[in-house]
Structure formats: C-alpha cells, structure tokens
Amino acid sequence: MLLAVDWAGVAQQVVAGLSSGGTYATLAVALVLIYRATGVVNFAQGELAMFSTFVAWTLTRHGFAYWPAFVVTVVASFAGGVALERVVIRPVERASVLTIAIVTIGLFFVVNGAAFWIWSPEVKSMPNAFSTRPIHVAGVAFSISDLGIIGVSLLAVLLLWLFFRFTKLGLAMRAAALNPDSSRLSGIRVSWTIALGWGLATALGAVAGLMAAPPLGSFDQNFMQPILLYAFAGAVLGGIDSALGAVVGSLALGVFLNLLGTYVSWVGTDLRQGVALAVILGVLLVKPAGLLGTATVRSV
Amino acid sequence: MGKSRVLFGVLSALVVASAASAGGSGTPGVTAKQILIGGTTPLSGPASAYASVAKGADAYFKYVDDHGGVFGRSIKYKYDDDGYDPSQTIEKTRELVQNDKVFAIYNTLGTEQNLAVRSYLNQLKVPQLLVASGASTWGNDYKKYPWTIGYQPSYRGEAAIYGRYLAKTRPKARIGILYQNDDYGKELVAGLQRGLGKKAKLIVSKQGYDVTDTDVKSQIARLKSKRVNTLMVFATPKFAIQSYSSARLLGWRPLVFVNAVASASNTMTIAALASSKRQTEGSISIAFLKDPVNPRWKGDKAVTLFRSILKKYNGGEGLTDVYNVYGMSSAFTLVDALKHAGKNPTRASIMRAVTHLNEHNNPFVLPGIVVKTTPTSRFPITQARLERYHDGRWVYFGSLVSVR
Amino acid sequence: MSRVLRVVVAAAAVALVLTLPHWLSDAKAAEFARAGCFFIAILGLNLVTGYTGQISLGHGALMAMGAYTTAILTADHGFGDLWTIPLAGLVAMAAGFALGLPARRLSGLYLALATFAFAVAMPAILKRFSGLTGGSQGINLFDKALNRSTGALGHVHVLGRALATNDFLFYLTWGIGLVLAGAAWLLVRGRVGRAFRAVRDSEVAAASSGINTGFYKTLAFAISGFYAGVGGSLFVLVSNWFVSPSTFGFDKSLLLVVGAVVGGLGSLAGIALGALFIQFVPSWAANLSNAPGAPSVFFGAAIVLVMILLPVGLGGLLRKLTEPLTRRL
C-alpha cells in the first residue's frame, strides 16, 4: 500500500485535507456552541448555514462586495436564529431532548425545501473571501484562502472563549445550560439565553457557510449536508464541549479522510466515509469524551 | 429453471391476456377530450435540480393543448415526487397505473428509478416511454422489455466518442478520469475504454468520487501527481465545476473533457468564474440540444419559442436551464409519436409509433439530428456534435458524430 | 386500563386490520402495507429508545440488512420469499447486537453519532460489495417469479380464499406487525422490560441494584434489530420485490426516529400513527405543490407543528381523547 511513497503527493493530500477540514471546522464550532448553550444538537444547523449562504449570494448578485455581504448576512442570521428559537423552539423548551431534536429535523426539511423553492435548483457560485492564487512551496500548492479559512475558525474559537469566560452574559449562558432550574432561581432568564445561543450559533453557521461555499467553486442547496456530518464527527472527535477540540478534530478528520481515500486502495473513495467514522468510533471507545473534551465523572 | 421460466412466461401472458380482455374495450387514460400520462421526478431531495426535465415537458404539453392538442385531445402529464428514492418510484408509479389509470408512464427520471419499475410495467404491458436516463440498457434489452424505450444518447456512446477522438488526435496523452462512483460514472468510463480501443492503456489513473463527498480536492491532487495531461470529467455539474476550481488551486491546467450532463453553458460560465478563463479554455464536450445560453442560438426560432413557452406556462422560470430544453425536446417527440399512434391511440399503437420514429423537425435538438428508431434500433437520439470551449462559449467543430 | 377494555381495544385493532382492505383500492392497500413495514421497524426502535432510553439513528440501516437478506437469499439461493422473513430478522438482529456494543460505553450524543455513522455508511457498503448486492442497481426479484409468493397481477390462495397481491401483502405485514407487537408487549411487561426501564430512568441506580446495564442495552439493540430486519424484509416484498441502496440512505433512519417520536414513544396506537405519518404525510405534502422543494417544506412544517402542539406525540393525543371513555368503563 505505502511502498513507493511520493512525498510531494502525500504532502499535497495533507494540505488538501487541511483545506477541506477548515471548511468543517467553523460549523463544528457552531455545533459545540449550541450544545453548550442549550444542551441539544441542532440537525438543522447545516441547513441554516446553507440558507444564510444563499442570502449572501443574493446580496452579491445585487451589487454587494463579498465582505459587506458577509457582515449583513451574519447580523441577519443572528436575528433569524433568535427569531427561530422564539417561534419554534420556545414552545417545546421544556420537552425532552429527543422532542427538540425531532423539531430540528423538521426544521432541516423546511429550510432545505424553502431554499430550493426560493432559489432555483441550479448550482451557484460566489466570489472568494481570500485570494485563491496558488502558492508553491517545495512542490506543494496551497492558497491564502486555505489559510484564511482555518484562521477564521480559530478566531471564532478565541472570541467564543473570551465571551464565555469573561462576559456576564457568557457566564449566564453556561450556567443556564448546565442547570436551568437553579439558574432560574438565581435570576437568569434561561429562555432568553437559549435564544441568544441560537442566534450566535446561526450567525457562526453563516460564517461557516460563507467560508465553505466560495472555495468549493460551486454549491447547491445540499452542499452543507456532508459538511454537517463531518463537522459533527469532528466536534465529537475533538470533544463536543470543546471549541478548540472541534477545530482540531475537524482538521484531523479532513487529513485522515484524504490519506485513507488515496493510499489505502481497498477503502478508496466509496468506503472512506464509513471507515473514517468507524475509526472515530474506536477513538471514542478508548476516550469517550473525545480528544480535548472534559470527561463527565460517572460513578457506577 | 429455463423450462419452468418459459412455462411461467406463458402462464403470466395468459393471466395478463385474460385480465386485459376482462377490463373492457376502452384504453386506460384516453377519453374523448384527454390523454393522461404520468411519471415520477425528484421534486425534493438531492436531485431536485433535475425537476426541470419534467417541468419543461409539462410546459410544452400545455402549449400544445392551447394549440388544439392531439386529435382534439389535450395531454395531461401528472408527475409525482419520488425524492429520487426507487422504492418511492415504485409506489408512485403503482398509484399512477392502478388508481389514476394513466395511458403510459413517461419521462421518469433516473437509472435506478426506471429499473425499479421496468419489470412491473412490462408485465402489465404499460408503455414506459422516453426514459430520462442515458443507461444503455433501455435501448439494448428491448427483447426482454418490449414496453420500454429510452431517449437521450447513451452515456457509453458519448464517452466512446471522446475515446475515439483521443486515440486519433492525442496518441501520447496521459489520461486521467474523475468519475462519479455509481452506474452513471461507470458507464462513461466503460464507454471511454471502448472508444480508445487498443489505446486504452493511455489511461493512467481513475479517481472516483461519491455524491455525498464535500469536494474533489483530494482526487484532483492525486490525478495531478500521476502527471495526467488529459482530464476526463464524468460528473454532475456541481462536481465538474469543482474539478476546474480545484485544479486551478493546484496551478494545474490539463486538457479537460467534460460530459454532456455537466457541460451546459451556464455551468461552464460558473466554472470559469470559480477558476479562471484560462482554466476552462479549450475544454471539449458534446451537445445534442440547443443550449439557450449559447450565443450561437441567439434569435433561433426554437429558443425563442422555448422562452415564450416557459414565460407563459412555467412562470418564466428556468430560461437558462438546458434541462428544460431536454424536457421540451422529449415532449415534442412524444407529441409526434401520439400523432402517429392513430386517432384512437392504444398502448400497442403508441409503442408502434415510438419504435418507428423518423423525426427531422424536432426544433430543440441541434440542426441535422434526426430522432429515429426502428423496432430493432431503439436509441432515439444517436447523433451529437463535438464542441470546444473558446472565449467563454461553446463552439461546435467537426460534423455530426454517431453516438453508438 | 381495565382488562376488559384492553381486550376490546385489541379486538377492535384486529377487526380494523381485517376489514380495511375492503375499503381500499389496490394501490392504497400497498401503501398501507408499506406503512406496516415502518410500524414493525418503529416497534423495534421503540424498545431501544422508548423503553431503554438509548438513541439510535441507525435503524434504517438495520432495515437494509433485513431487506438485502431477503433479496439475496431469494435471488441467488432459491429460497421462497416468505421463508426469508425470519432469517432477515436474525441477520439484522446480529447487526443490531453489534450496533449495541458501543452503547455499553457511549451514551447520548456519542451513541447517536455511532449509530448515525452506520446509517450514513450503509449505502456505500451496499454499493461496494456489488457481487453480492447488485451494486447501485440493486436486486430485482420481480422477474424471478418462481420463488415469489405472488406477482403483480397474481392472486394468493390463503385458507381457500383468493386474495389480490396487495391485499395479501397488507394482511401479511400488519398480521406479522400485530404478532410482533404482542411479543413486544409481553417482553416489556416482564423482567426484561423492568430492566430496560431501570436503565432508562437511571443507569446508576440500575447498576447499583444489580442490573447488568451493558447487557440489557445490547439486548435491546439486538431485539430491536430483529424487528427492523423483519420490517426491511417485508419492505422488499411491498416494493415490488425490488431493493437498491438509495432506498436506505440516512434519511430513512431519521424518518424512523421521526415516526417513533411523533407517535409518542410508547403506546401501540401511537406507533401505528407514527408509521402512518411517515408513510402518508410526505405524499400529501407533494400533492400541495409541485415546485421543487415545496414538498419538503410542508413535510417539515408538519413535523414541527405536531411536536409543538403535541409534545407527547400523536399517541399522547389519542390517550387524552380516550381518557373520558376509559373512565366511564
């Protein structure tokens, strides 16, 4: 399998993997955020990111440049996320986690369908945030765009860490997620912190979509589905309660998928998804809280 | 086994015959005022982009109805959503045949989806007309499935054209293939090998991708590292565009052949935007339909008609979408066949008509292409033209080629 | 509920199943039969999620195991289709057992990912081993008539009565469904059921009272796998004896969870309503508009609405409606 190694080829696969992993990372951070703020996994997270991306695409078609469209979309997505929580999640706030998960599955269908309905199913393309001119170093090609995307996800991690660590609101959100009942008693408006969590996660999802879509070259209404799967896997691999873990997990996953698909011939491209997920499962069995997650102490 | 299968065949034929005679004299789906046909198409799920194939056809039928219909009958085309899931195709088709009592199943989209209902429809002797899939089985296996017929050029035949062209013009090429890892992609790969013939050893690398992949960066990097200089892209539009943009990110510019499903003008425009003009320059493909975006057809009567039909009957949507042209072309052929199926069409007479097509006047296909079938030659469209992407548009070169 | 009422309800259910095909067209009977397949799979899922508290997003893949067992044994090994149904259950049971192993160590989200991975990988696995599974074209048993219990136009003779194919399939799926529902009911009433519920309510407490939680979790998954396998096997028969990988994408797994939760995780009637929901609501949604994407919007909105209006599911609503009745009895 690995007899005649072409090192430039391997290095190129690693770079391509980091580049793909970078597109999973920001969404993975969004998943971590909403998990920490609300204790649920949002199955519609990827579709909301897709929807935001289409909004930005519409803006760029109406004369906006990339970055102004980016800012408008992220702000609008925050508002949209809060509104969505108020309308759809609020009524089931105290229901079981499973009920909320099913509501997000329902949202998944609604948002995906609505995007097809509003924007026709033809593939779209939008301008890049960063330069994609190839840079060659020792026979390996990469671009500013690859670095920029990973940089943005790390920046998001830093901002979130600062927010949760040092702001009153951030602390309130963490408390509300950990123990809603006693938080209520201590005067935290739990319902609103959850709405805020949705707003932040949707805004971050918009960032993820806007980072992921342009360098793909083309995207359609389903482009976030595989990214959500890998982001989910990356977040769990890194430890679902660690934002930095989510970035590390996503990048590792991107590289691992490429090397597996390219150099292990019986896996190839068709089985790499399954094998990669199986390996993550193996990691979890050894280290159930993920690479960088905190283990919950459970005495049995 | 063989003997008992024959016996069963005879028995089931008897059952069918008795069922048919018991069913009365009227042909299902045909009344004095209307002919009802049905089919399935993905309106939801991963393949919704192909919905225009049904929508274009539907708009054309409405246009025909407003101009007198066929022998005074209007054509009602009922297309149901199967979400691209073959088990739903079965369910919806059964409903169309048994509850709605359609005259024929028409234009159902997808290879697996049509395979899923082929035996069922043939056993009931319900025509399965102008299947929207380029698998070669629709034209090849008519002896076993006489009630089924395809429409578009086969994927195998298309790729064989590229193979023959390469064998002739680039005998020293290092060919690399990016293909979709399913029947669609594999038929194209097989066709290329057939067309290359003895030169098949020019293929130095084959990289598959799965429809659920996020991108094809890894595959393109692999092909580049194999020193490929001629890249075959056998993909859907989304992944074709991605292969251009990923190649550009690597600073790699091979000669690209892109298959017809993924080479519409609006797809190539996006590909050029997502990579660069130099990246798409010189790409080669084939075409058999008039692409509404191609400046070559500016002012063409058929394209003008195409636009006005979409404006009137489809809310003005899909004006740049070549899948809509496909739908209209297919609908034109069905209308043509219905005209030849007699004043009171039956399921047998429509099959006779679609296996005796000789259509010189289909306005939606490229000039010179004849939509032609005989009972033993059941590929309606077997001609196409090679085209080269130059300066932001497709330019035809050479004469009509045979897609066999 | 009193014992008398329970007998009455059971009898009413049987009577309903027996008479329903008389009011249905042939194609509609087939659709109800398909709902019956979902009913059986959701019965299994309910054992894992409703009773044992473990999340599984992989039951669609377990159905696929059962479906392909039936297809392969019938197509390549000369089995009669009906005889493969229990075998399909057993194969999926083994797969369910394997799927349950991670549940011994993982919980919540992590288990959800593990099972979801199985669902996502299933179509690729089926395509990869094409020698066995027919690749992406799938397996078509329709032409292999000799091993089939009936054909599209045929009739089946059961106890001297001739039944149309789809009526026969209706009775077959719902008959097997009711038997399996009875078996599940007996199971959850007994010692095993108590252990399941103990694991769900508090693993720590269950373990400290001497229950082997790992064993019962795996057991729940295995039994549940049997149900899903039988559902999958019947799904092949109902789908014109045809099976292909794209039928068992991860969306089938999500759909089953939706069916289970919409049904209310618990009562038999709720599960039946959940199965009918995932069978019929998408079709209704598609009839509302044929703009691309519109069917998904309506289907998704229906899910959200049901969950908001009835957080305990359709089963809960049913319980509320029948409460006055039961009190009177």
**Domain ranges, ordered by start, for chain A:** 27-224
The end-to-end CA distance of chain B, in Å, is 34
- How confident is the prediction for chain A on average, in pLDDT? 86
Q: Which residues of A touch C120 (CB under 8 A)?
A: 229, 273-274, 277
What is the bridge-based pairing of β-strands B230-234 and B175-180? parallel
Let me know if residue C277 belongs to a domain.
no
Tokens 């996320």 -> residue: A81
Does C308 sit within 8 Å of A88, measured CB to CB?
yes
For residue A152, what are the CA distances in angstroms to A23, B217, C14, C80? 10, 20, 61, 59
| Mean of pLDDT values over B193-197 | 95
| Mean of pLDDT values over B171-181 | 94
Question: For A273, which of B212, B251, B252 is closest by C-beta distance?
Answer: B212
Q: Does A219 touch chain B (CB under 8 A)?
A: yes
Beta partners for residue B35, in sequence order: B30, B75
**Residue A8 binned pLDDT confidence (cut-offs 50, 70, 90):** confident
What residue numbers bound the domain in which C139 lies?
3-256
Q: C31 CA to chain B: closest CA distance, Å?
A: 7
Let me know if residue C317 belongs to a domain.
no
Q: Which residues of C touch A91 (CB under 8 A)?
A: 308
The Cα diameter of chain B in Å comes to 70
What pLDDT, in 10s, does the model give residues A154-166?
A: 898 888 888 888 8
Q: Which residues of A touch C49 (CB under 8 A)?
A: 98
Higher local confidence (pLDDT), A200 or A96: A200
| Confidence (pLDDT) at C324 | 54
Does C152 sit within 8 Å of B120, measured CB to CB?
yes
Q: Which residues of A touch C102 (CB under 8 A)?
A: 281, 284-285
What pLDDT, in 10s, does the model give residues B336-367?
A: 999 999 999 999 999 999 999 999 999 999 99
**Residue C13 binned pLDDT confidence (cut-offs 50, 70, 90):** confident
Range ranked top by mean pLDDT from B1-5, B79-83, B354-358: B354-358
Query: Which of B36-40, C45-49, C91-95, C130-134 is predicted with the least confidence, judged by mean pLDDT?
Result: C130-134
Contact A33, A206 (CB under 8 A): no
| Confidence (pLDDT) at A23 | 86
Identify from A26, A112, A125, A221 which residue to disrupt to test chain B contact, counting B C-beta atoms within 10 A and taking the largest count: A125
| Confidence (pLDDT) at C42 | 96
| Confidence (pLDDT) at B305 | 96
Question: For C25, which of B8, B99, B119 is closest by C-beta distance?
Answer: B99
| Mean of pLDDT values over B107-134 | 93
| Confidence (pLDDT) at B353 | 96
Question: C79-85 long-range CB contacts below 8 Å, 24 or more apart?
Answer: C79/C147, C80/C147, C80/C148, C80/C149, C81/C141, C81/C147, C81/C148, C81/C149, C81/C236, C81/C237, C81/C241, C82/C149, C82/C172, C84/C233, C85/C176, C85/C230, C85/C233, C85/C234
C242 pLDDT more than 50: yes
Question: For B43, which of C26, C28, C292 is closest by C-beta distance?
Answer: C292
Instruction: Check residue B366 and report its DSSP letter.
Output: P
Subunits next to B (3 or more Cβ pairs <8 Å) are A, C
Query: Which of A260-269, C97-106, C291-300 is predicted with the least confidence, judged by mean pLDDT?
Result: A260-269
Q: A22 CA to chain B: closest CA distance, Å?
A: 12
What pLDDT, in 10s, does the model give residues B300-330?
A: 999 999 999 999 999 888 898 999 999 999 9
Tokens 């998944």 -> residue: A108
B54 pLDDT more than 70: yes
| Mean of pLDDT values over B191-198 | 95
| Confidence (pLDDT) at C181 | 92
Query: Which of A276-280, B6-10, B400-404, C92-96 is predicted with the least confidence, judged by mean pLDDT?
Result: B6-10
Q: Using DSSP, how many helices (H) and how many strands (E) does chain A show?
A: 11, 2
Contact A199, A205 (CB under 8 A): no
Let me know if residue C15 belongs to a domain.
yes
**Residue C286 binned pLDDT confidence (cut-offs 50, 70, 90):** confident
Angle of helix A190-216 versus helix A45-61 axis, rounded to 10 = 60
| Mean of pLDDT values over A260-267 | 80
Identify from B1, B8, B21, B91 which residue to disrupt to test chain C contact, counting C C-beta atoms within 10 A and taking the largest count: B91
ipTM > 0.95?
A: no
| Mean of pLDDT values over C139-157 | 68
| Confidence (pLDDT) at B362 | 95
**Residue B5 binned pLDDT confidence (cut-offs 50, 70, 90):** very low
| Confidence (pLDDT) at A5 | 67
The count of domains in chain C is: 1
What pLDDT, in 10s, does the model give residues B258-281?
A: 999 999 998 999 999 888 899 999
Let me know if residue C314 belongs to a domain.
no
Closest CA to B130 of B360, B333, B338: B333
Q: How many CB pairs under 8 A join B and C?
A: 115
| Confidence (pLDDT) at C322 | 65
Angle of helix C165-189 versus helix C3-23 axis, rounded to 10 = 160
| Confidence (pLDDT) at A226 | 87
- How confident is the prediction for chain B on average, in pLDDT? 90
What pLDDT, in 10s, does the model give residues A106-126?
A: 999 999 999 999 998 888 888
E strands present in chain C: 139-140, 155-158, 161-164, 242-243
Does A216 sit within 8 Å of B245, measured CB to CB?
yes
Domains and their CATH numbers in chain B: 2-21+28-152+309-341 (3.40.50.2300), 155-287+385-402 (3.40.50.2300)
**Exposure letters B243-260 (e unless 16+ CB within 10 A, then b):** bbbbbbbbebbbbbbbbb
| Confidence (pLDDT) at A145 | 85
B12 pLDDT more than 80: no
| Confidence (pLDDT) at C264 | 82
Range ranked top by mean pLDDT from B80-89, B298-307, C19-28, C207-216: B298-307
Does A271 sit within 8 Å of C303, measured CB to CB?
no
Query: Which of A37-51, A258-272, B182-196, B354-368 is predicted with the least confidence, judged by mean pLDDT?
Result: A258-272
C150 pLDDT more than 90: no
Query: Which of A136-145, A153-162, B7-16 is predicted with the least confidence, judged by mean pLDDT?
Result: B7-16
B383 pLDDT more than 70: yes
Does C282 sit within 8 Å of B83, measured CB to CB?
yes
Those residues with Cβ within 8 angstroms of residue C151's Cβ, 6 or more apart along the chain or in another chain: B12, B123, C142, C145, C165
Nearest CA in chain C to A89: C308
| Mean of pLDDT values over C67-78 | 91
A293 pLDDT more than 80: no
| Mean of pLDDT values over C87-110 | 88
Helix (H) or strand (E) holding B399, with range, is: strand B393-402
| Mean of pLDDT values over C88-102 | 93
Report helix, strand or coil for C210: coil
What is the bridge-based pairing of β-strands B104-106 and C155-158? unpaired
Higher local confidence (pLDDT), A145 or B289: B289
| Confidence (pLDDT) at B317 | 86
Q: Which residues of A touch C257 (CB under 8 A)?
A: 102, 105
| Confidence (pLDDT) at B23 | 37
For residue B315, what are the CA distances in angstroms to A237, B24, B306, B307, C291? 48, 41, 13, 11, 11
Let me know if residue C20 belongs to a domain.
yes
